[in-house]
Amino acid sequence: MTRSRSRKLLSRILWFDPDAGNDLPAAQTEASLQPDPAPAPVASAVVEPDPGPVPSKRPRSRILAREPLPALQGDIYTEHFGLTLRPFALTPDPEFLYWPQSHQRAYTMLEYGIRANAPITLITGEVGAGKTTLLLHLIRSLGPEIRVGLISNPHGSRAELLRWVLHSLDEPAEPNESYVDLFSRFQNLLLSEYAAGRSVVLIFDEAQNLTAEALEELRMFININSGKDEVLQLVLIGQPELRDLVSRPEMRQFAQRVAASYHLTAMDLKTVRGYIPHRLMVAGCERRIFTGPAIAMIHKVTGGVPRLVNQLCDLAMVYAFTRGKQTVTPTTIQRVLDDGVFFSANAASNTSGTPA
């Protein structure tokens, strides 16, 4: 798709005039609304060939009158801004990882917990704070001496939780097997991995969905040991509710096994000023696209939450592209907000007071 055709189509989507294309001459419009004249009597028995359907003269929208344009692609504005890929995608991508002090400390705690054989490592943060991106970077950095089981959004009973764990380690866990059978298989796996010189790390993403009973079950898992060394480590990643759950008085036995923890906060304005140019640079940008006032406005609207910053920046670049602009200014941001397309605006306003 050419850049001009993409911009035209997006312009129609964002600034569509419902009367566009319906400006045919009045005489032609009236004629199209008149009933068709009665057919003339047949003068002879000769049958004329059917000329086919007569095109309708009814006025049509300018969009419908044209041939369909190709579907929009995810990298629609990259050529316009001289980029090699989309800089503000919402899916976690370690290639774009930015290292402000808060993320450096969180990653240090993650790495320390695993390298020091900590029984439980706990990392929390607000929605969209960058926890999963750090986690993916950590998994990529681990060597073959560590066997990792990743469980996302865990839930269910004791037996179901154990099945989640075994499946994450590519071990069988049939629905008709008893809890005793499953636990025996899990224990034998841990001891055999330890004998082979490997450690097992279970990582629970979105761990705030675990119940107190599930956390107690996990605590029982880490009681499996070889006599002096830990054969299983747990890494729990979740939202602030997870920290609140672990801090309950009845969870003190679990809390005492937490050897490394950190809470990720939102980015302050200084960090956002480095974060946005960093992602653009990774995407191949060699100039400034977002003005200083635009970045300040983005931070104010999003509260510095990385996922919300990405979403608003992405929308702003789409708007700038459709207008043929090479820079994003506060006016561009305001248009996005006024049109209501930044659906997370309410969520951003709820986090804007979070200290960074």
Residue 255, both tokens: 């809390």
Separation CA 124–CA 354 (nearest Å): 14
CA distance 296 to 330: 9
CB 178: neighbour CB atoms within 10 A? 9
DSSP β-bridge partners for residue 121: 235, 260
Contact indicator for 88, 313 with CB cutoff of 8 Å: yes
Grouping H, G, I as helix, E, B as strand and the rest as coil, residue 18 is coil
State the DSSP H helix or E strand holding residue 238, giving kind and residue range, or none if neither: strand 232-238
pLDDT of 273: 96
Residue 205's beta-bridge partner residues?
152, 237
Name the packing angle between helices 330-339 and 306-322 (round to 10°). 100
Domains, the chain, ordered by start? 78-84+267-351 (1.10.8), 101-264 (3.40.50.300)
Q: What is the DSSP string of 33-51?
A: HSPPPPPPPP-SSPPPPP-
Which pairing describes strands 258-264 and 232-238: parallel, antiparallel, or unpaired?
A: unpaired
Please give the distance of CA 186 from its chain centroid, rounded to a whole number: 33
Q: Which residue, 186, 191, 193, is CA-closest to 227?
A: 191
Cα angle 190, 191, 192; round to 5: 95
pLDDT recorded at residue 78 = 86
Tens digit of pLDDT per residue, the chain (356 long)? 455 555 555 555 454 444 444 444 444 444 444 444 444 444 444 444 444 444 444 433 333 333 433 434 446 788 899 898 999 988 888 889 899 899 999 999 999 999 998 999 999 998 888 898 899 999 999 999 999 999 998 877 777 899 999 999 999 988 889 999 999 999 999 999 999 999 999 999 999 999 999 999 999 998 887 667 789 999 999 999 999 999 999 999 999 999 999 999 999 999 999 999 999 999 999 899 999 999 999 999 999 999 999 999 999 999 999 999 999 999 999 999 999 999 876 655 555 444 33
Distance between the two ends of the chain, CA-based, in angstroms? 42
pLDDT at 275: 95
- Would you call 236 exposed, middle or buried from its count of C-beta atoms within 10 A (0-12, 13-18, 19+)? buried
Q: Tokens for 265, please give them.
A: 């906060």
Of 140, 172, 148, nearest to 233 by C-alpha is 148
Count other C-beta atoms under 10 Å from residue 83's C-beta. Answer: 19
Q: What is the pLDDT of residue 350?
A: 56
Core vs surface per residue 324-342: b (16+ CB within 10 A) or e: ebeebbbebbebbeeeeeb
Decide: helix, strand or coil at residue 73: coil
How far is residue 7 from each of residues 72, 98, 244, measured CA to CA in Å?
10, 31, 48
Q: Is 265 exposed, middle or buried (0-12, 13-18, 19+ CB in 10 A)?
A: middle
Predicted pLDDT of residue 345: 65
**Res 33: pLDDT:** 42
**Under a CB-based contact definition with an 8 Å cutoff, are residues 246 and 255 in contact?**
yes
The SS3 of residue 341 is coil
